[in-house]
Amino acid sequence: MRKFTLLFSALLLGTLASNAQSVATFEDLSLSKPDTFYVNYTASGTDVGFNEADVHFPCVYDTSYGGYWVNGFSYSNMTDSVTSGIANQYAAKADTGYNSAKYAVAYGTTNTISLLDTADLSPAIGMYVTNNTYAANSMRYGDAFARRFGYTPTDTTGSYPDWFKLTIHGYRHGAELPDSVDFYLADYRFADNDSDYIVNTWKYVDLSSLGDVDTYEFDLSSSDTGAFGMNTPAYFCIDNFSFNTTTAVHNVAAPVAKVYPNPATNMLYVDLSDNSVQQVSVMSVSGSTINTYAVTGKQLAINTASLPSGMYFLQLSGNNKNATVRFVKQ
């Protein structure tokens, strides 16, 4: 069982680096109406992307042939999880965002996002991922360009069994870091075919193993390839992309709180060594408060059984000071 020690502000002199959470929820980005998406065909071949929560999401369009998406990110509130084909390329298979209306859609086999100055070299946390409707339906039913996953091959291209994978790399000052994170958007490699799947809900992807980064690279790969590369439509959707921004905190004392077990299942415990913590709040990755507890002793027991699986934060408060620790609910 791992215990995580939390640094809480007190009266010792000095300066310590502390982490503040930043989350790209895409909710503050403007869309003119429901069931629409961001598009900008006015600057062909240049980055017409957008910034959200100290992150730049690039996007490139081309004005030829009425305008089309070259690569990068858009944001959307589309709810069409049924219609197949490229006409529905801005929709998430999960219908909406993760507990929200808006989300981001990525197109292209390789895309990068960069943290802005205030988030330079920030510790990675994680994000929620799901399939794009166009890609999911292409894998489920097949189309003119891509094969149907999980069926006897009629050609010799690509590999079998089928899979569709997102790989996330981290970069620091232009240098690629050794660790990467793989997430299968579809996987038909199981011995038991009943276990095969195409992701159609939001799934949490933990990026903390990437460490301190300033740029993320997202690479898509598939078992279905041909002479011109990947046949599976190169799309995926993300929401609540989160990371820690580093700030200077003064007057930090010795550790006074231990939070365990992490990951938690039914219960989470906070052990306190003094009376400086007066209140503890459980918060979602989007920053909303789920529950708040008054501290009356040296240990606080929090029932986490009803929390959906994913990442959360505990905010500890007292004496006009605050500190935050992350935990995961299994």
More confident residue, 14 or 215: 215
Looking at the domain assignment, is residue 23 inside a domain?
no
Last residue of a domain, one of 184, 213, 244: 244
What DSSP element (H or E) covers 91?
Answer: none
Total-model pTM:
0.71
> Is the same domain home to 297 and 216?
no
Indicate if 171 and 301 belong to the same structural domain.
no
Q: Of 244, 270, 291, which residue is a domain's last?
A: 244
Q: 226 and 77 share a domain?
A: yes
Q: Are 295 and 301 in contact (CB under 8 A)?
A: no
CB 255 within 8 A of CB 5: yes
What is the pLDDT, as a whole number, of residue 154? 63
Write down how long the chain is. 330
Q: Could you tell me which residues are beta bridge partners of residue 16?
A: 249
> What are the structure tokens assigned to 54, written together?
């100290």
Looking at the structure, tell me whether residues 78 and 199 fall in a common domain.
Answer: yes
**Residue 280 Cα to chain centre, angstroms:** 25
260, 115: one domain: no
Q: What is the largest CA-CA distance in the chain?
A: 71
> Within this chain, do residues 191 and 262 fall inside the same structural domain, yes or no?
no
Q: Are residues 123 and 158 in the same domain?
A: yes
Residues 318 and 172 in one domain: no
Token pair in block for residue 57: 């999401």
The whole-angstrom separation of Cα 207 and Cα 244 is 12
Q: Give yes or no: residues 275 and 230 share one domain.
A: no
Cα R_g (the chain), whole angstroms: 22
pLDDT at 263: 85
In a domain, 18, yes or no: no
The token pair that represents 11 in the structure block = 């009266």
Query: For the chain, how many helices (H) and strands (E)?
Result: 1, 25
Q: Is residue 325 part of a domain?
A: yes
Is there a single domain that holds both residue 80 and residue 195?
Answer: yes
In a domain, 22, yes or no: no
State which residues form the domain around 298: 4-12+251-329
* CATH number of the domain that residue 164 is part of: 2.60.120.1350
In a domain, 38, yes or no: yes
Q: Give the count of domains, the chain.
A: 2
38 and 174 co-located in one domain: yes
Q: Are 280 and 293 in contact (CB under 8 A)?
A: yes
In a domain, 235, yes or no: yes
pLDDT band at residue 258 under the 50/70/90 scheme: confident
Q: Residue 11's pLDDT is what?
A: 29
Predicted confidence (pLDDT) per residue in 196-210, tens digit: 999 999 999 999 999
- Which of these, 53, 72, 51, lies nearest to 62 by C-alpha position? 72
173 occurs within a structural domain: yes
Of 244, 264, 294, the residue that ends a domain is 244
**What CATH number did the domain enclosing 324 receive?**
2.60.40.3080
Selected residue with higher pLDDT from 156 and 89 = 89
Give 70-97 pLDDT, tens digit per residue: 999 999 999 999 999 999 999 999 999 9
Residues 71 and 204 in one domain: yes
pLDDT tens digits, 30-60: 999 999 999 998 888 899 999 999 899 999 9
Q: What percent of the chain has pLDDT over 90?
A: 61
Is the distance from CB of 19 to CB of 244 less than 8 angstroms? yes
Alpha helices in the chain (DSSP H): 133-141
Instruction: Examine residue 207 and state whether it is found in any structural domain, yes or no.
Output: yes
